[in-house]
Structure 1
Amino acid sequence: MPLTWAIYFNMHARFYHPSKITIGQIVELSAENKHHAARVLRLKAGDSITLFSGDGGEFSAHIQTISKSSTAVLIDAYHDIDCESSLHIELAQAICVNEKMDWIIQKAVELGVTCVQPITTDRSIVHLSDERSSKRLQHWQKIVISACEQCGRNLIPHVLPLISLPQWLSQKKTTRSAHDVHLMLSTTATKGLREIPKPPTDANLALVIGPEGGFTQEEEATILHTGTGFIPLRLGKRILRTESAALAAIAAIQALWGDY
């Protein structure tokens, strides 16, 4: 068996537990995690698992009892494991149809973003009421947690409440420091990542991606000329779909400046 596959199959199942965890504690898994452990992973009493609370680090544990109604695990030890990128990346993504947005958020978390800011734009196809927006936010945060369980991250990135592009730009204008790097993916841009100086280690990176139809000319002008310091960025000679653009850009940023 190739080494990479051997490592994969030897990994313990990872579960997010939102409450404080201490060594020696007996923890009852949530209904969702209980079902996943018993019915999907087919775990049994004595099997080793990993729990994390989202505050950093993780805990090794083993299953004491497992049944249809209850799964209790005993916490064995704490491990100070940090899988976070050296970069602080905020992804501002124009909302798109459900499956695409779910995919973007899931993969962006795996690639190491610190937070995701959904935004509405002039060409956004999806329009959410306050109630639907709140439900989608809860749904997206569950996707974030699931991605962290899969990829080994022990700090939970946040999906921020949906706001408009002008509202987000106003926030960036008031919070931006001199070291921060703000990037806008654009088909009319002439610069690639290699032409942008590497940011200092304490810089915050913001990457804004348009909807399926892209930003309007007026929106691009607003992004570039409202004192937010955005740099228009092009990834190669091809036009990427919105669900590809953010992920390609984050991967390239991690390769040039981050932990790849």
Structure 2
Amino acid sequence: MPRIYCTDHLQPGLELDLPSGAARHVQVLRMQPGQALCLFPGTQANGEFTASILEMGRQHVRVRVEQAHTVDREAALALHLAVGMPANDRMDWLVEKATELGVARITPLMTERSVLRLKAERADKKRQHWQAIAIAACEQSGRNTVPVVDAPCTLAEFVATVGAAGQPAHSERWVLSLAADARPVTQRLAALPQPCQGTHAGRVLALSGPEGGLSAPEETLLRAQGFSPVSLGARTLRADTAAIALTSAATLYLPEKRAHA
């Protein structure tokens, strides 16, 4: 059954015209009246909804919402990935794969050694482009929660927001590092507090550098802000490979939940 992202307030019995982007998606699939599809508004609290197509027009698609379903396909650990943007189309690939793996939020960063530099209107267009990639990845992978893709910012701007009022609190802050004192990410994961039944394992902010890595002053700055150095092993990975390897380790982490006392 095709899955379509629809931000409208959905409830059983509601008839509505799909938003233009969702309508185009259905038309491209050459669906017909009477066929079923799955709608999701992008927030886990709302889950997903089965719907049936009532009418296919040239410019619109009308559907009726049939039934609500509460389905949790999110990772046990909520990962906020801050990443030095790789060049060319590798950032597109990174956003797609990180979303499929279950990342909760992505912040594109411009660091000292970053090749890609984005400002103003160009930065906003890229953010919209990457958000659309995340939505498409949710439609494909079965996720009901669309991760937020932030506007690109400098490392200094990002560090200034960490821990600020109104920003999500993180149980851990990590930075990928080749330093001798960096602990394996598996050890960091094993040291996390075990969640109780009905709760998640926590929220981790993990930062991965660009091609060429973070500079020594940048890593010093992050450590001063409470970022612990973590390692993915002895090999030096490409920037996009490292970010996805870190995401995989964190989002596929399955802690043993303890029963409430």
TM-score of the alignment, normalized to the shorter chain, above 0.5: yes
Which structure shows the higher helix fraction?
A: 1
Superimposed CA distance per residue, residues 164-197 of structure 1 (whole angstroms, 9 cap, x where no aligned partner): 1122223225579997111111223442123324
SS at match of 1:208: strand
Alignment of 1:1-260 (within 5 A): 12-39=1-28, 41-56=29-44, 57-174=47-164, 180-189=171-180, 190-196=182-188, 197-200=190-193, 201=195, 203-224=202-223, 226=224, 228-257=225-254
Corresponding letter in the other structure for 1:247:
I
Percent sequence identity over aligned pairs: 33
Query: Which residue is 1:5 aligned to?
Result: none
Residues 77, 250 of structure 2: 8 Å contact kept: no
Superimposed CA distance per residue, residues 41-70 of structure 1 (whole angstroms, 9 cap, x where no aligned partner): 222221110011123311101111224332
SS at match of 2:183: coil
Superimposed CA distance per residue, residues 96-142 of structure 1 (whole angstroms, 9 cap, x where no aligned partner): 22411111111111111111111110011111121111111111111
Residues 61, 73 of structure 1: 8 Å contact kept: yes
Distance 2:168 2:132 in 1: 31
Superimposed CA distance per residue, residues 200-225 of structure 1 (whole angstroms, 9 cap, x where no aligned partner): 3463201101111211111112211x
User: RMSD of aligned C-alpha atoms?
Assistant: 2.2
Residues 174, 206 of structure 2: 8 Å contact kept: yes
Structure 2: where are the runs of 5+ without partners? 196-200, 257-261
What's the CA shift for 1:151?
1.3
Residues 183, 208 of structure 1: 8 Å contact kept: yes
Distance 2:33 2:108 in 1: 41
Superimposed CA distance per residue, residues 52-99 of structure 1 (whole angstroms, 9 cap, x where no aligned partner): 112331110111122433211111111111211121210001122241
Residues 52, 66 of structure 2: 8 Å contact kept: yes
> TM (normalized to structure 1)?
0.86
| Worse overlay, 191-200 or 205-214 | 191-200
Residues 73, 144 of structure 2: 8 Å contact kept: yes
After TM superposition, which residue ranges in structure 1, 4 or more long, deviate above 4 angstroms? 173-179
- Number of aligned residues: 245
What's the CA shift for 1:229?
2.0
| Worse overlay, 123-132 or 197-206 | 197-206
Structure 1: where are the runs of 5+ without partners? 1-11
